[in-house]
Structure 1
């Protein structure tokens, strides 16, 4: 690909070789002018234009705690170090434009939270059942710190994994696998809840509802571990359970899928009845099923979540049990068995009005194989998803963003996520916007270095909701007051008590206009407040 100026110089030189001096001068001049305005085939801009960014987009990251993948960096760290590590990750993600944290709080029938019927996780304190000392509640701490940064926090649950290995010392004497051994089967070197047992479904639902009731979370999140991934062709040892609880099924595969469906429906109903603002989302394997095996499947040829894991995501979407689907499309464009673009398009066609967030494999970004050698693979995946009207992206995992592997965090921070965004609304949960704030005042500091805004909290909306937070917009002189353009968002807060804000990013002789909107818990946004206009002389 040739740059424009060398081409212009080449043509200029050729024309100057002509015999007729007056003709060559005119032609040389016009060749340079024309070439400066047109793009030639194959010419790549050295600095491509920045992306047009959506105001509404979920931008998430998974923070994995199992075997200390992301946090804490080692089991048994002192509490102060645990807190510092989490804050550092949240700060990195805030700078990168992330607005949603998916925190793993129950990796294996254990807990990263205090108000639990299950024992403390050994991945937190180094010893199963041992609480942090000095005591703190990691989930409460994470929620508070995420909300300070205008990030949602979704509690990530592994519903069926009961142990990560078969070492007896890694579970407490009162661990559920010891109290109710008949609820479990062993497969792939782990103990797993048996989804076909009704008491198991009741127990897992109770665990989830403890979290929903006791913590100020924004969502409950399940990952892709339902029935276990195949282990060398070994059969799942649940034949006796199938005989005992057939539920009218004769086919074991359909029976297993129904067992998972019963749990998803039960948890969905429980969450809806308890707190209308808590979202329920699931992150299945990237392929639902392959078209060669199912007429509704995708043009792919990989492992099937429907067939091997018994996870029927289409039923969850079509029944309206979940609010978002987050398939782990951990494949590059053009993959021979699971092309990224094919799977994104397929999930987009089957989301059934619920949100689709793409799961991106940040951990694979440094791999030396087809597709991943292109270090723009994930940024280009985000761009493609946006063109397909996907509502967001979630990255696995936290440390790969924090460590800026192959410059991915830079791509988000300085381009793809350079402006703030709000999570997309969910009108099936709440479609009523809050009332706008009022009485906006603005005052320039005596030293002309800042402007402080004050406003009044709005009254309750017609559904009884109070403002959950606020969005502050600033427009410079000559800029249209466009609240749909995220470049004008100055600040977002999830603190309803914060009714003032100081803008330190001003300059002398600047001309500014401000408005403030309120948002409710599900991020519905009000009309703007009254406008304040100031000139800093």
Structure 2
């Protein structure tokens, strides 16, 4: 039959259509809202030796579980990373560290390496659903081990976690806050878009425990937030800076605000920065 295609060619055509859709969405956002981050949360296993790892120049995913998404839903996440059409990837790694065919830690290591190879952020999607039926200390410890793995095995320097579903978060919140999220933090900076620093706030003043400043104009549609820092007044500006050169130390971060005034503890030194949608921070202004 003239013009007939093989099953493999048909599947490749379907995956190419998915790649094009992802690329079109990415281009649309760059044109209309370049400050908005675009990411996808695919199935947790991809890039096996018999699917797509060789095509995109990656070592194959070494777990025993199958890359079912490649042929069943025509999803090839390595292609999105290679083509740089997503800002972040958040695979659904919904298995425990002890799973026989899809253990959590090897998958985190593989995905983080894949994202880092192509200059993309990686945030593991973790499930909290087991807590609904088994809210025990051992199950909560398993979730915390996964958070620790996200941080220890990150190849990209971004240590984010995505929790599914939010309705279960209350069952874990005290343990997480005490052991792993005791300090506030800014979202990881997207650097590859090449944006300049936003303008710093101006007119910083304090009255009656309220810190205020004037909003700076920004590009239409550009997200703008403010990071508010409070630190012991006797510390110098040099002493409050992050030792890694990443702005003010996050231990002094007290609030992220979309407005231009916040309540702050009195008798402290203060600093405010502007943050754009890529989490690029302006130079601080001090009071």
**Separation in 1, partners of 2:222, 2:164:** 34
Alignment of 1:362-381 (within 5 A): 362-365=128-131, 373-381=138-146
The answer on whether the counterparts of 2:33 and 2:221 sit within 8 Å (CA) in structure 1 is no
Matched, 1:277 2:38: no
Partner of 1:519 in structure 2?
275
Partner of 2:44 in structure 1?
286
Indicate the SS of the match to 1:300: coil
The equivalent position to 2:193 in structure 1, one of 425, 429, 447, is 429
4+ long deviations beyond 6 Å: 463-467
Matched, 1:502 2:268: no
Matched, 1:262 2:26: no
Partner of 1:239 in structure 2?
none
**Separation in 2, partners of 1:465, 1:272:** 12
Partner of 2:153 in structure 1?
388
Query: Deviation digits for residues 68-112 of structure 1, max 9, x if unmatched?
Result: xxxxxxxxxxxxxxxxxxxxxxxxxxxxxxxxxxxxxxxxxxxxx
Name the CA shift for 1:409/1:356 in 2 (closer, same or farther; >3 Å). same
Alignment of 1:51-62 (within 5 A): none
CA deviation after TM superposition for structure 1 residue 459, in Å: 5.6
The answer on whether the counterparts of 1:277 and 1:521 sit within 8 Å (CA) in structure 2 is yes
**Separation in 1, partners of 2:16, 2:7:** 9
**Separation in 1, partners of 2:24, 2:253:** 39
Query: Deviation digits for residues 397-439 of structure 1, max 9, x if unmatched?
Result: 12111xx23xx11123333222222211212335211111223
Matched, 1:303 2:62: no
**Separation in 2, partners of 1:399, 1:420:** 22
In the alignment of these two chains, the number of paired residues is 265
In the alignment, structure 1 segments of 5+ residues that lack a partner are 1-242, 446-450, 533-537
Partner of 2:240 in structure 1?
481
The answer on whether the counterparts of 1:438 and 1:456 sit within 8 Å (CA) in structure 2 is yes
Alignment of 1:71-86 (within 5 A): none
**Separation in 2, partners of 1:378, 1:299:** 22
CA deviation after TM superposition for structure 1 residue 457, in Å: 2.9
Indicate the SS of the match to 2:140: coil
Indicate the SS of the match to 1:365: helix
Matched, 1:330 2:103: no
Matched, 1:452 2:210: yes
**Separation in 1, partners of 2:186, 2:133:** 32
CA deviation after TM superposition for structure 1 residue 274, in Å: 2.2
Indicate the SS of the match to 2:80: helix
Name the CA shift for 1:378/1:367 in 2 (closer, same or farther; >3 Å). same
**Separation in 1, partners of 2:11, 2:220:** 46
Matched, 1:345 2:109: yes
The answer on whether the counterparts of 2:203 and 2:214 sit within 8 Å (CA) in structure 1 is yes
CA deviation after TM superposition for structure 1 residue 317, in Å: 0.6
Higher relative contact order (Cα pairs below 8 Å, separated by 6+ residues) = 2
CA deviation after TM superposition for structure 1 residue 378, in Å: 1.3
Partner of 2:127 in structure 1?
361
**Separation in 1, partners of 2:270, 2:152:** 31
Name the CA shift for 1:459/1:250 in 2 (closer, same or farther; >3 Å). closer
**Separation in 2, partners of 1:331, 1:367:** 16
Name the CA shift for 1:382/1:484 in 2 (closer, same or farther; >3 Å). farther
Partner of 2:179 in structure 1?
415
**Separation in 2, partners of 1:438, 1:428:** 28
Name the CA shift for 1:268/1:249 in 2 (closer, same or farther; >3 Å). farther
Alignment of 1:30-179 (within 5 A): none
CA deviation after TM superposition for structure 1 residue 391, in Å: 3.6
The answer on whether the counterparts of 1:519 and 1:526 sit within 8 Å (CA) in structure 2 is yes
The answer on whether the counterparts of 1:332 and 1:339 sit within 8 Å (CA) in structure 2 is yes
Query: What is the alpha-carbon root mean square deviation over aligned residues?
Result: 2.8
**Separation in 1, partners of 2:143, 2:228:** 31
Indicate the SS of the match to 2:66: coil
In the alignment, structure 2 segments of 5+ residues that lack a partner are 242-246
**Structure with bigger gyration radius:** 1
Q: Normalised by the size of structure 2, how large is the TM-score?
A: 0.81
**Separation in 1, partners of 2:95, 2:184:** 28
**Separation in 2, partners of 1:388, 1:467:** 31
